[in-house]
Structure 1
Amino acid sequence: MTATENVASGLPVATFTEAMSRLVSGLAVVTTRQPTGQPCGLLVSSICSYSVDPPSALVVVDHASRCRDSLARCVEFGVHVLGRGEERTARTFASRGADKFADVGWEWDGEVPRLFDAPIYLRCNTSAVFDHGDHTVLIGEVARTEVAEAEPLVCYRRQFDWRLRRNGVRQP
């Protein structure tokens, strides 16, 4: 199937959305403390390294997310890159559930809710926040990095069950 749309002219963006779903991306849970003192978190696929000096990460949060306001105002946040076998955690934090932390192992790391099982954890100090379109861009300077050996959980065409082999072929 080949489809084209002039996205910039305001035409429907279905083709653009489909095109972006075909980028293989890692999945991460971004967490912070709400002003009420409760933890909040959400699943993101829009995450990347932003700078090496200083070490910084960039995450993008939909304005419709219930966690968006807390993240836009936070001083620090956590990025938990998920590993293979963490589909349940991914689905929990992608949901609109009331207490996403109820069935997940976690603890407070200062003001940041830290998930136990994520193979990569970045504790970030917020350095920039700005809105663009229907999303908020959050840049954090990485204060601490923890890395454990694990296969990544990746998303492709809106599916969380993709596995990559070392030779690049999909593994069921």
Structure 2
Amino acid sequence: MTATENVAAALPVATFTDAMSRLVSGLAVVTTRQATGRPCGLLVSSICSYSVHPPSVLLVVDHASRCRDPLTHCAEFGVHLLGSAQERTARTFASRGADKFADVAWAWDGTVPRLGAAPIYLRCTATAVFDHGDHTVLIGEVTHTEVAEGEPLVCYQRQFDWRLKRNGVRHP
């Protein structure tokens, strides 16, 4: 066992996940097309800008996610940064429901399923995929961006109903 494995084995998982739940993070729905041609999508909070030259994002997907395989084999995917009005959408895409797109307005943007109401949309070309621990890291180069005004929907202490305002944080 390596020194890193020894440290990781000694770190209580509950303490680590509780600590990370206190990091305010944005919520995004990531979408792609499955090999069958059907759309798939999931909610992620582990997402960040990765590079400006070229414009890129980095996101992380649990190995247990049903969207992991389609995302690791896709050429393109969409990132939908959610606004405060999309709490229901966040809960839908966080669920293990069979058809997450059934009650959500969406359309095809080429091969990428695009949600209708998200204030920020990034169409990405997958450029790197690698596994680390129990997750897969996906890096995408942004090929198209659309931005509309609105308050972001964020996650704090496992709650999706926190909203940021320009003058500070408020919760329900």
Q: What is the RMSD computed on CA atoms of the aligned residues?
A: 1.2
Equivalence for 1:13: 13
Equivalence for 1:133: 133
Range with greater deviation from structure 2 (69-78 or 11-20)? 11-20
Deviation digits for residues 112-149 of structure 1, max 9, x if unmatched? 00000000000000000000000000000000000000
Deviation at 1:7, TM superposition (A): 5.2
Distance change >3 Å, CA 16–CA 36, structure 1 → 2: same
Equivalence for 1:22: 22
Distance change >3 Å, CA 23–CA 102, structure 1 → 2: same
Deviation at 1:160, TM superposition (A): 0.5
Equivalence for 1:75: 75
SS in 2 for 1:70: helix
Deviation at 1:11, TM superposition (A): 4.2
Range with greater deviation from structure 2 (143-152 or 6-15)? 6-15
Instruction: Give the Cα separation in 1 of the matches to 2:26 and 2:88.
Output: 15
Equivalence for 1:3: none
Equivalence for 1:124: 124
Q: Which runs of 5+ in 2 are unaligned?
A: 1-5
Contact kept? 1:78, 1:113, Cα under 8 Å? yes
Equivalence for 1:167: 167
Equivalence for 1:49: 49
Instruction: Give the Cα separation in 2 of the matches to 1:44 and 1:146.
Output: 19
Distance change >3 Å, CA 150–CA 7, structure 1 → 2: farther
Alignment of 1:77-156 (within 5 A): 77-156=77-156
Q: Which runs of 5+ in 1 are unaligned?
A: 1-5
Contact kept? 1:83, 1:152, Cα under 8 Å? yes
TM-score by length of 2: 0.94
Identity %: 82
| 2:100 counterpart letter in structure 1 | K
Deviation at 1:152, TM superposition (A): 0.2
Count how many residue pairs are aligned between Structure 1 and Structure 2. Answer: 167
Is residue 158 of structure 2 the alignment partner of residue 158 of structure 1? yes
Contact kept? 2:39, 2:113, Cα under 8 Å? yes
TM-score by length of 1: 0.94
